[in-house]
Structure 1
Amino acid sequence: MTDRERVIAYRVAAHQFDRTATGPSALRVFDLGVQDSERSALPALAARLETPDLADSVLTWSVRGAPHWHRPGALPGLAAALWPLSDADAVTRMNRPPVTAGLAVLRQVVEALRAVVDRPMTKGEASAAITPLVPPEVTGWCRRCAATHVHDPVFRLAVLPAGLRFDPTARTVTFVPVAGSRTPDRTTGFAGLVADYLRLHGPAGPSEVADFVGAPVREVKAAWPDDLVEVAPRAWLPADRATAFENPPRPDVARLLPPLDPYLSARDRALLVPDEGRRKEVWRVLGRPGAIMVDGEVLGTWRARATGNRLDITLSPFAPLDLDRFEDEATRLATARGLDRARLT
């Protein structure tokens, strides 16, 4: 294998596309969370499990302020691991409001949320209640809402450490307090978060981890664990994964990955898709497509729409494909979306 082939093979195995995991809690992707910004979570699980299910998972804003599903009981530890590493890191993750004491300001917003949301409460209700309680530098006029409220990136960053999850059955964003949670005193468990990223998306370095969590690279470099193994120049793995990287099994898998699938969340996109034009198509900012993945290689994009009880999936491959390999995957996607059948074109 070439170095790139080895990395791809390692990641395919790490992502458990073989569908042998017994359930969501056994999936390594749940170490970091499964993003669900565009109804992507269940299709992502369908690519890894025989029976995808989110019933025992919890949903909240976590990594980069995006909605992610996590294991029950994981939120307090994740909140401490994702707590900003410094004032500068806090300001960066809050989208750079005009403050210098970033950690103190974030703590004010977190404590205000914790005090106000003592029962299920919509985002609008919570925002209106905390806005008078926080520094004005992190609030602003919202034309859409015709009101002054906490800037959205600040609000999203504060939800997890405030001990809040979503009610997934509610039609609008509704927060529910998590029993037993507390505001982190400082960042703890960040080394474990780095190791979880590397086990799933490695080998990688501080710049990729920084991009993943939304922190400045210099802060991540300063907190970089010293017990990792450098398996390639500026690319590390946890010691317990170094042997698996040396001789990974050759991939034999075909999947229709949804937009925002964890496999596409690795930050070294140029490694996954070397061609710049194709890379821009796979990771479009607006109207994200899904990705056609064969043996770890991203070989095209796909889009789908429901027609009655059927999911019509249109493939746009970068090279000729064996459609037979995707018939079952199309059916699994349809089932994950609550539809009876699928049609590939």
Structure 2
Amino acid sequence: MRNTVLIPTYRRPLDLSRCLLALQVQTKPVDQVIVVVRDTDIETWQFLDQFKSHNLPLHTVKVTQPGVVAALNAGLSAVKGDIVSITDDDAAPHPDWLEKITAHFHSDSCIGGVGGRDWIYQSNKLENGSCQVVGKLQWFGRVIGNHHLGIGEPREVDVLKGVNMSFRTQALAKPAQNIGQLRFDERMRGTGAQVHFEMAFTLLLKRSGWKMIYDPSVAVDHYPAQRFDEDQRHNFNEIAFINLVHNETLALLEYLPPLRRFVFLLWAILVGTRDSFGLVQWLRLLPSQGQLATKKCLASWRGRWQGWQTYKQLKIQN
């Protein structure tokens, strides 16, 4: 099977260099590397002009619209492989990454997506830990991630993580909801990271009948780098918080059946999580976070409402 690696990048040439060097030493050679670059990203264009690609079949795609969704959709249009593997510019795949990914797709024609562990390095310190439950959607709508902590044998999951996910291009070529080829949802909000875009994508594939496999040995090293948008990872930003909850809400409303959809909305408003507050989370964290907890709760409720509005808008149009 032919392998295409797709990398969206923006203003992080040093990180991109580490990623490309890791792809040069894969035990299964890459058949195509697509780097998607913003038209205004002078730093990255200069780096690519000077980069010695050696054995890498490097192909660049220019994109004018901000956000990871636009970048990935532009890259998908240029994919020639049987498998497209997506990673971030601030990640470095392990040498056997493509070899293990390909083995999974060979093993079962019903597998539409394969993901694995991202070993996170914060300030050059490995964030170590272990967890058996990874990438699962609970019946009432809570999503358990933990992709960076997964251990154990390969297993079927519900959600993959954007820094380490691969798809059978055959699965993307089939019509999805009568809209032609499957693409990342352009309704995802944000000007950069657009958090939860991969959740919407993998849940749509699952709804179409494809298996999603998580294998901890399909690994990349992940060095979370600076973002150049409103989402600054660990610092609260109201717009980024609303966007995150909007995207999560929209993805889950479109996947869940009617009864579970109702239960999810009720649970999300009354309980929620540390990332998407509900009333219980606000009360629990109010003593330690004070006014910040109130801001997060209000932003979460606003994001839920806006996600519901986006979902209903599409239903009305259809």
TM-score normalised by length of structure 2: 0.29
TM-score normalised by length of structure 1: 0.27
Query: Which structure has the bigger radius of gyration?
Result: 1
